[in-house]
Chain A
Amino acid sequence: DIVMTQSPDSLAVSLGERATINCKSSQSLLYSSYNKNYLAWYQQKPGQPPKLLIYWASTRGSGVPDRFSGSGSGTDFTLTISSLQAEDVAVYYCQQYYSSWYTFGQGTKLEIK
């Protein structure tokens, strides 16, 4: 199985500041034939199902604010929130879909400092 490891486990950032969450996979998620990284990012707020933010490692989902961005390739990925808003308080997960046995990272809890 592909193991996904996020860092940090929790993060406190001031409003308007940048938040950065890292995700590392145990094997490359880059499918070279398509030049795509099979990596997604989700946001989950209490009592709600997850919401897809980013797919193909760097493509924002429809309606996702442009303060959210994804980067990275191969085994190392980053989710960046450029200017933290109060409504961004949530748990964030990365997930690989390179293998048909999908796996998620353990989650990163983002709070306001």
Chain B
Amino acid sequence: EVQLVESGGGLVLPGGSLRLSCAASGFTFSAYWMSWVRQAPGKGLEWVANIKQDGSEIHYVDSVKGRFTISRDNVKDSLYLQMNSLRAEDTAAYYCATNLKYQAVGAFDIWGQGTMVTVSS
């Protein structure tokens, strides 16, 4: 069964750090671009970052550039998001996502269930 399982969310103080993980199973993880997408409570979807199969190409939304780092371990079939200098506006559910079936990189047909990050004092 194809699955993405996020972990690592929690409550953190403003200015603090968290590392999110996304464990992939049921498919050849190393063959696919991967992304993080977030959703603040009651708000819409915001793409955060993506990473190419071999990690050679990475992109970020402007609001997290210089604070967040996306990475992957193709041996462990895992995706990561290191989040530093966290702000209240980073409070959101964070999803990892990818496209497996349609050769439409960026049209996400597989999503995890999400992990919640709350930045508050």
- Alpha-carbon distance A103/B61, docked complex (angstroms): 9
Interface string of B43-58 (1 = CB under 8 A from A): 0111100100000010
What residue in chain A is nearest B112 (Cβ atoms)?
A49
Q: Which residues of A contact B (CB under 8 A)?
A: 1, 38, 40, 42, 44, 49-52, 55-56, 59, 61-62, 91, 93, 95, 97, 100-107
Instruction: Assess A104 versus B59: contact at CB under 8 Å? Given A56-B104, A62-B101.
Output: no
Q: A101-B61, A102-B50 are in contact. Are A93 and B104 (CB under 8 A)?
A: no
Contact B44–A107 (Cβ < 8 Å): yes
Interface SS of chain B: loop
Are B59 and A55 interface neighbours, CB within 8 A?
Answer: no
The answer to whether the Cβ of B32 comes within 8 Å of any Cβ in the partner chain is no
Q: Is B8 an interface residue (CB 8 A)?
A: no
Q: Which residues of A contact B107 (CB under 8 A)?
A: 40, 52, 55-56, 95, 97
Compute the total of residue contacts between A and B using a CB distance below 8 Å. 66
* Distance between Cα atoms of A82 and B2 in the complex (Å): 31
- B binding-site residues for A, Cβ under 8 Å: 35, 44-47, 50, 57, 59, 61-62, 95, 97, 101-102, 104-109, 111-114
B109 A52 Cβ-Cβ under 8 A: yes
Q: Taking the nearest CB of chain A, how far is it from the CB of B15, in angstroms?
A: 26
**CB-defined A-B contacts under 8 Å, sample of 30:** A1-B62, A38-B104, A40-B107, A40-B108, A49-B114, A52-B108, A55-B102, A55-B104, A55-B107, A56-B104, A59-B102, A61-B102, A62-B101, A93-B44, A93-B45, A95-B47, A95-B107, A97-B106, A97-B107, A100-B50, A100-B57, A100-B59, A102-B47, A102-B50, A104-B44, A104-B45, A104-B46, A105-B44, A107-B44, A107-B45
